[in-house]
Chain A
Amino acid sequence: MTRPGRSTEIRKKNGHFEARFVAMGSPCEVLLESDSESNAAAVAGSVSTEAWRIEDKFSRYLPDNIVHRINNSGGAPVEVDDETANLIDFAATLYEMSDGRFDITSGVLREAWNFDGSDNVPADSEVDRILERVGWSKVKWNRPELILTAGMQIDLGGIAKEYAVDKAASEAAAETDDACLVNFGGDLVATKAPTRSKGWQVGIDALDQAQGLPQKLIRLQNGGLATSGDARRFLLKDGIRYSHILDPTTGWPVRNAPRSITVAADTCTQAGMLATLAMLEGQGAETFLADQDCKYWCYR
C-alpha cells in the first residue's frame, strides 16, 4: 500500500548521490558514494522501502497495524510476530536497565503534557490520574503474547527510528559495496567510510539555530550517531524550563536534563538508547555517559 507523499528524490550533489524522502515524520536522506545513478536509485529504494515498512508497522498513528491492535485490545491477549516481539524484548531490557525510566507505556502521559513552548504545565492531580495507566510492570509479556491492562498503551516511537536506521543501513549494505550514509532526521549510520575523505562529515546542530553553522563537525567512518533532545520542545513556567523528556516514574519532566545529547556507538540503536538513558539521568547525564566509554556530545 502506498501512502500519499511517499516519493524519493535523487540528485547528484558534490560528487555523490543524495536521495531524500520523508518517513516517521522526519526528513530522511541517503548519501551514496557512487558513480552510478541506477545503483543510487536501487539503494535509495531499498532504504526508503524499509523505512516506510517500519513506519507502517509500528506507528501509533496508523489504524491498521500491530501497535494499534495492542493499544485497542481492551485487556485481551495479543499475539505478536517475531519482529514486534524482538522490539518488546528490547524495550523490556531497557526498562530493567533504567530502573523503570525507559518505559514504552509512558506515551499516555502526553495526554497531560504538550511541549509547545507555552507555560501549559498540568496539575499534579491530572498527572497522577494518568500515571495509573503507566508502567511496564503492569504489563503481562509472555513472548509472543502481550496483555495490556485496559486503558494502557504502548509506543515504540522511542526505539523505532533508530531501529529503522540500522535495518535500512543493512539493506543498503546488502545492495551495494559503495560507502553509504543513512540519516533519518539526525539519527544516522555510516556503512563504511567514503574514499574521498577521512569520513562522512556530520554536523551537530547548534542549539541556537540562528547561528547557522553546525556546532561540531564529526568525521564518521562507520557506526551510528543519534541525538536525543530538542531545543524547541519545552515548556516554560515561572522561570523553570521543562524539557520534553518525561520520567514515567514521576510523570514529570526529568529535572536538569541537558538540551541535547549526541552519542556515537556501533549501531544507531545503541547510540539512540544511550542518549535517551543519559537524558533520563538529568543532572547526571555526563557522568552516566562518561561511564559508558562512548563518544558523546552533551549540551546544556
Chain B
Amino acid sequence: MKKLNTIASALLVAGLAGLSGCSSMGVEPWERDIMAKDEMQLTSDPLEAAIDDHIYFSKEASSGGRGFGGGGCGCN
C-alpha cells in the first residue's frame, strides 16, 4: 500500500507539472471547429462505451480506466 501511495502522488505531481508545460500547446477559440465535432469527443458514443465496459467487466479482471470501473453487477 505504501508503495502504491507513492505512485499516486508521483502521478499527481507529474500531472500538475505537465499542466504548466502544456501552455504552449492548444488552439485558439476560433480554431475549434474540428474539436467541436461529435466524432472528436473523447467518448463519442457513450452508450456503446457503457455497453463495452459492461461486457469486458463481466469477462475480464480489469475495468474502468476511461471512467469509473463499471460494474454494479453480480457478473464478476
Contacts and interface: CB of A to CB of B under 8 A. Distances in A.
Direct contact of A and B (CB under 8 A): yes
Closest 8 CB pairs of A and B: A195-B29, A198-B36, A192-B30, A179-B29, A195-B32, A192-B29, A193-B29, A193-B32
Interface string B12-49: 00000000000000000110100010000000000000
A79 B1 CA distance: 88
A193 B31 CA distance: 11
A158 B29 CA distance: 35
B29, B30, B32, B36 — which one has the most chain A CB atoms within 10 A of its CB?
A: B29
Contacts of B30: 192
Contacts of A192: 29-30
A198 B29 CA distance: 11
A212 to B, nearest CB: 29
A192 B36 CA distance: 14
A34 to B, nearest CB: 12
A193 B30 CA distance: 8
B33 to A, nearest CB: 9
Interface of B: 29-30, 32, 36
Interface string A186-197: 000000110100
Interface of A: 179, 192-193, 195, 198
A193 B29 CA distance: 8
Contacts, number: 8
A179 B29 CA distance: 9
Nearest to B30: A192
Contacts of B36: 198
Contacts of A195: 29, 32
A193 B32 CA distance: 10
A198 B40 CA distance: 13
Nearest to B29: A195
Nearest to A178: B29
A195 B31 CA distance: 10
A183 B9 CA distance: 49
A82 to B, nearest CB: 33
A193 B36 CA distance: 11
Given A192-B30, A195-B29, 6 more contacts: A179-B29, A192-B29, A193-B29, A193-B32, A195-B32, A198-B36
A192 B32 CA distance: 12
Nearest to A194: B29
A179 B36 CA distance: 16
A167 B37 CA distance: 31
A193 B28 CA distance: 12
Contacts of A193: 29, 32
A4 to B, nearest CB: 39
B54 to A, nearest CB: 29
Nearest to A195: B29
A195 B26 CA distance: 13
A278 B39 CA distance: 37
A33 to B, nearest CB: 9
B30 to A, nearest CB: 6
A119 to B, nearest CB: 52
8 contacts: A179-B29, A192-B29, A192-B30, A193-B29, A193-B32, A195-B29, A195-B32, A198-B36
